[in-house]
């Protein structure tokens, strides 16, 4: 293709693509922030991860499959531990949880947050030390709370007065004194600044600060202290997810430390811990530019120290709860292309053998993803494509807009990076599609850590 022709093609494609998406100069390039650290292309152009070519992974384990780069996951754990010195890092298991990952995060020195009995069961089955588990949730059942107490879970993040009632009753019965953090709704919306914060009452999580005297959050802490049954370990706030800007954390820390100061002034108590939650953003496309954990850690510590100095508070022991930033970029999904349909003059629809059942985020949150041809390099020019699944629904989109090589054909493997968080954990059996396996790769080897669901698994639940 001559240069002026290529320029004209790019201009034309560019018109139909979203403004941020540019036709790539090299369709085979892998952009580092999107991919796990060990991902690259072999001499034959095949994508490899953990030293294993994806063609081998597909042959051994089938497609679709989630591929976890174990070394990359460990590195991300270490970056958070090192980047947040003196801070407890709890991995938010809701992003993705299985026994192998529990063991890895435990080995790397992280704690683990769970928010249901199922997540707790997985953590305990994998041997996570219970004192390093935090238990979240706005509607924990009495049975779940009892199980957490009996297991010796290290901290329970209390979310409502009804829950404090339940937990107090259970603790009395057992003669134990569980450590609790009060979940504070600070009124900061993710991605946004203080000026456009959400209304406190329009939120199912936590205790509100609204009302001038520390709101129901103050009342909850005061009641826990007065009862003396539960140990008030600290305050907790989580402002949202996929956040790139530290201003939300700043407002949140200021507000929650304001409550800390009020507790000191009125009740003469400074709870020792402060948990600022998770929410650190990752790169899904070229548009996202996440800060490294060390930078986030520095920003957060500075914010808290400054505010504590201003309020003359002791700096509490801090905790954070990253989920997405730990596991998101460590995984990609490997699909096989089934059909390529050129919808004249608009774009090519590339159908893969999975879809909204293994990645609901595109349909649910309008999330943007990227994709690359994984089973070979291509010398063809770019075509504007939409990667869609096999489900009976027009909204079954995996990657809404991407430039893929124009010679993409059935049988090719396609990889979608950044699918470690909230993809397998939110997967469904829609259209009775069995959920894909998770295959860990490291040191030139692959191992299945979550096996593929089978039709027999689906039928086993259907007891007639």
Q: How would DSSP label each residue in 9-32? A: HHHHHHHHS-TT----S-TT---G
Q: Nearest approach, Cβ of 155 to ligand LLP (angstroms)?
A: 12
92 sits near ligand LLP (criterion: CB under 6 A): yes
Site for ligand LLP in 406-425 (CB under 6 A): 421-422
Site for ligand LLP in 124-163 (CB under 6 A): 136
Residue (419 or 446) nearer to ligand LLP, CB: 419
114 sits near ligand LLP (criterion: CB under 6 A): no
Residues 101/421/385/31 CA torsion (nearest 10 deg): -70
Q: Which of 324, 386, 390, 391 binds ligand LLP (CB under 6 A)?
A: 324
Q: Which of 61, 155, 200, 238 binds ligand LLP (CB under 6 A)?
A: 238
120 sits near ligand LLP (criterion: CB under 6 A): no
Q: Which of 55, 185, 208, 241 binds ligand LLP (CB under 6 A)?
A: 241
112 sits near ligand LLP (criterion: CB under 6 A): no
Residue 282: DSSP 8-state:
-
Residue 236: DSSP 8-state:
E
Q: Which of 365, 410, 429, 432 binds ligand LLP (CB under 6 A)?
A: 365
Among the residue ranges 53-61, 213-221, 237-245, 303-311, the one whose residues contact ligand LLP (CB under 6 A) = 237-245
Residue (286 or 425) nearer to ligand LLP, CB: 425
> Which of 105, 82, 96, 120 lies closest to 324 in space, CA to CA?
96
Size of residue set near ligand LLP by CB under 6 A: 21
357 sits near ligand LLP (criterion: CB under 6 A): no
- b/e map 343-366, b = 16+ CB within 10 Å: eeeebbebbbbbbbbbbbbbbeee
Binding mask of the shown chain, residues 272 to 291, with x at each position contacting ligand LLP by CB under 6 A = -----xxxx-----------
Terminal C-alpha separation, the chain: 61
Instruction: Round the CA-based radius of gyration of the chain to a whole number and report it.
Output: 24
Residue (200 or 361) nearer to ligand LLP, CB: 361
**Alpha-carbon gap, residue 373 to 369, rounded angstroms:** 14
Residue (65 or 181) nearer to ligand LLP, CB: 181
Given 77, 98, 308, 392, the catalytic residue: 392
**Alpha-carbon gap, residue 77 to 81, rounded angstroms:** 6
Q: Which of 68, 71, 95, 319 binds ligand LLP (CB under 6 A)?
A: 95
297 sits near ligand LLP (criterion: CB under 6 A): no
403 sits near ligand LLP (criterion: CB under 6 A): no
Q: How far is CA 452 from CA 231, 428, 438, in A?
A: 43, 13, 8
Place of tokens 């994508």: 47
**Alpha-carbon gap, residue 425 to 362, rounded angstroms:** 14
Place of tokens 């007639």: 464
**Alpha-carbon gap, residue 156 to 364, rounded angstroms:** 29
Query: Is 392 known to be catalytic?
Result: yes
Residues that bind ligand LLP (CB under 6 A): 92, 94-95, 113, 136, 238, 241-242, 277-280, 321-325, 361, 365, 421-422
Please list the active-site residues.
392
């Amino acid at each position: 293709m001559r240069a002026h022709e290529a320029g004209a093609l790019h201009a034309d494609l560019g018109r139909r693509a979203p403004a941020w998406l540019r036709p790539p100069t090299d369709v085979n390039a892998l952009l580092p922030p999107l991919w796990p650290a060990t991902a690259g292309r072999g001499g034959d152009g095949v994508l490899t991860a953990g030293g294993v070519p994806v063609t081998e992974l597909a042959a051994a384990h089938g497609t679709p499959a989630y591929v976890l780069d174990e070394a990359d996951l460990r590195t991300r754990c270490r970056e958070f531990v090192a980047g947040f010195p003196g801070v407890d890092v709890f991995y938010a298991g809701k992003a993705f949880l299985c026994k192998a990952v529990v063991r890895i995060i435990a080995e790397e020195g992280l704690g683990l947050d769970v928010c249901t009995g199922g997540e707790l069961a997985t953590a305990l089955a994998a041997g996570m030390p219970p004192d390093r588990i935090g238990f979240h949730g706005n509607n924990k059942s009495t049975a779940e709370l009892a199980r957490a107490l009996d297991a010796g879970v290290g901290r329970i993040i209390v979310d409502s007065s009804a829950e404090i009632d339940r937990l107090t009753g259970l603790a009395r019965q057992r003669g134990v004194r569980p450590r609790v953090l009060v979940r504070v709704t600070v009124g900061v919306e993710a991605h946004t600044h203080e000026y456009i914060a959400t209304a406190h009452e329009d939120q199912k999580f936590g205790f509100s600060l609204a009302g001038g005297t520390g709101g129901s959050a103050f009342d909850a802490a005061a009641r826990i202290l007065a009862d003396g049954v539960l140990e008030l370990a600290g305050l907790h706030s989580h402002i949202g997810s996929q956040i790139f800007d530290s201003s939300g954390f700043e407002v949140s820390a200021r507000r929650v430390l304001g409550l800390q100061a009020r507790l000191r002034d009125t009740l003469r108590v400074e709870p020792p811990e402060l948990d600022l939650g998770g929410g650190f953003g990752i790169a899904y496309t070229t548009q996202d530019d996440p800060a490294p954990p060390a930078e986030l850690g520095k920003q957060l510590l500075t914010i808290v120290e400054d505010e504590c100095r201003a309020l003359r508070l002791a700096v509490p022991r801090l905790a954070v709860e990253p989920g997405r930033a730990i596991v998101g970029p460590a995984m990609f999904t490997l699909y096989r292309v089934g059909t390529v349909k050129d919808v004249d003059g608009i774009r090519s629809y590339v159908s893969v053998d999975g879809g909204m059942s293994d990645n609901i985020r595109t349909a649910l949150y309008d999330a943007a993803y990227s994709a690359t041809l994984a089973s070979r390099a291509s010398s063809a020019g770019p075509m504007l494509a939409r990667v869609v699944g096999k489900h009976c629904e027009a909204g079954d989109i995996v990657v809404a807009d991407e430039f893929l090589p124009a010679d993409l054909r059935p049988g090719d493997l396609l990889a979608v990076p950044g699918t470690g968080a909230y993809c397998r954990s939110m997967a469904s059996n829609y259209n009775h599609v069995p959920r894909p396996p998770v295959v860990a790769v490291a040191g030139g080897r692959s191992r299945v850590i979550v096996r593929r669901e089978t039709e027999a698994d689906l039928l086993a639940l259907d007891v007639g």
